[in-house]
Amino acid sequence: MHPSLQSFSPQRMSSSSIRFDNFLDRESSLGVLLMLPGLSILAVFLAYPFALGIWLSLTDTRIGMPGEYIGLWNYIDLLEDDIFHQTAWNTMIYALVTVPFKAILGLGLALVLNNHIRFSNPIRAFVMLPWIVPTALSSLGWFMIFDPVFSPISWLLIQMGLIESNINFLGDQVIAVTAICWVNIWRGIPFFGISILAGLQAVPHELHEQAAIDGANQYHRFINVTFPHIKGIIMITSLLSIIWTFADFQLIYILTKGGPANQTHIFGTYAYQVGMSATEIGMGAAITLYMFPILAFFSILLLRYMRKSA
Amino acid sequence: MMVGSESHRTLQIYIPLAVFMVLLLFPFYWMTIVSLKPSSDLFDMNFNPFWVQRFTFENYTYLFENTEFWSWLWNTMIIAIVSTALSIFCSICIGYALARLKFPGSDFMGIGIFLVYLVPPTLLFIPMAQVIGALNLFNTHWSLILTYPTQLIPFASWLLMGYFLTIPKEIEESALMDGCSRIQILIRIVLPLSVPGILSATIFCFTLCWNEFLYALIFMSSGDMKTIPVGTVSDLIKADTLFWGSLMASALLGSVPVAFIYSFFVKYYVSGLTASAVKG
Q: Would you tell me the crossing angle of helices A281-309 and A48-57 to the nearest 10 degrees?
A: 130
Look up the CATH number of the domain holding residue A200. 1.10.3720.10
> Does A34 share its domain with A89?
no
Hey, is A59 helix, strand or coil? Answer: strand
> In Å, how far is A94's CA from the nearest CA of chain B?
15
Q: What is the pLDDT of residues A12-26, one digit of tens each?
A: 445 556 666 666 667
Nearest to B119 among A46, A108, A272 (CB): A46
Q: Is residue A65 part of a domain?
A: no
In tens digits, chain A (310 residues) has pLDDT values of 444 444 444 444 455 566 666 666 678 889 999 999 999 999 999 999 999 999 999 999 998 888 899 999 999 999 999 999 999 999 999 999 999 999 999 999 999 999 888 888 888 889 999 999 999 999 999 999 999 888 899 989 998 989 888 899 999 999 999 999 999 999 999 999 988 998 898 888 888 788 888 888 888 888 888 898 899 889 999 999 999 999 999 999 999 999 899 999 999 999 999 999 999 999 999 999 999 999 999 999 998 888 887 6
Under DSSP, the state recorded for B38 is -
As for how many domains chain A has, the answer is: 2
Q: What is the pTM assigned to this prediction?
A: 0.90
d(CA A282, CA A219): 55
* Closest to B99 measured CA to CA, from B169, B183, B29: B169
> Does A165 share its domain with A39?
no
- pLDDT on residue B269: 62
Contacts of A53 in chain B (CB under 8 A): 123-124, 126-127
Q: Is residue A161 part of a domain?
A: yes
Query: What ipTM does this complex have?
Result: 0.90
One-character DSSP codes across A99-151? HHHHHHHHHHHHHHHTS--TTHHHHHHHHTHHHHS-HHHHHHHHHHHT-TTT-
Complete domains list, chain B, with CATH: 67-279 (1.10.3720.10)
The residue among A27, A33, A34 with the most chain B CBs within 10 A of its CB, best to mutate, is A34
Contact A265, A83 (CB under 8 A): yes
d(CA A25, CA A194): 42
Q: What is the pLDDT of residues A261-281, one digit of tens each?
A: 999 999 999 999 999 999 999
Q: Is residue A72 part of a domain?
A: no
Under 8 Å CB-to-CB from B51, ≥6 apart: which residues? B33
Contact A153, A179 (CB under 8 A): no
- Do the chains contact at B94 and A38, CB–CB below 8 Å? yes
Q: Is residue A62 part of a domain?
A: no
Contacts of B102 in chain A (CB under 8 A): 27-28, 31
Containing structural domain, residue A51: 3-57
Q: What is the pLDDT of residues B233-270, one digit of tens each?
A: 988 876 556 788 999 999 999 999 998 888 777 666 66
Please give the angle made by the CA atoms of B156, B158 and B159, to the nearest 5 degrees. Answer: 65
How many helices (DSSP H) and strands (DSSP E) are in chain B?
A: 17, 0
Please give the angle made by the CA atoms of A230, A231 and A234, to the nearest 5 degrees. Answer: 85
Under 8 Å CB-to-CB from B151, ≥6 apart: which residues? B121, B208, B212
Nearest to B20 among A29, A44, A127 (CB): A127
> Does A240 share its domain with A207?
yes
> In Å, how far is A285's CA from the nearest CA of chain B?
6
- Do the chains contact at B127 and A50, CB–CB below 8 Å? yes
> Does A52 share its domain with A86?
no
- Do the chains contact at B248 and A21, CB–CB below 8 Å? no
- Do the chains contact at B123 and A247, CB–CB below 8 Å? yes
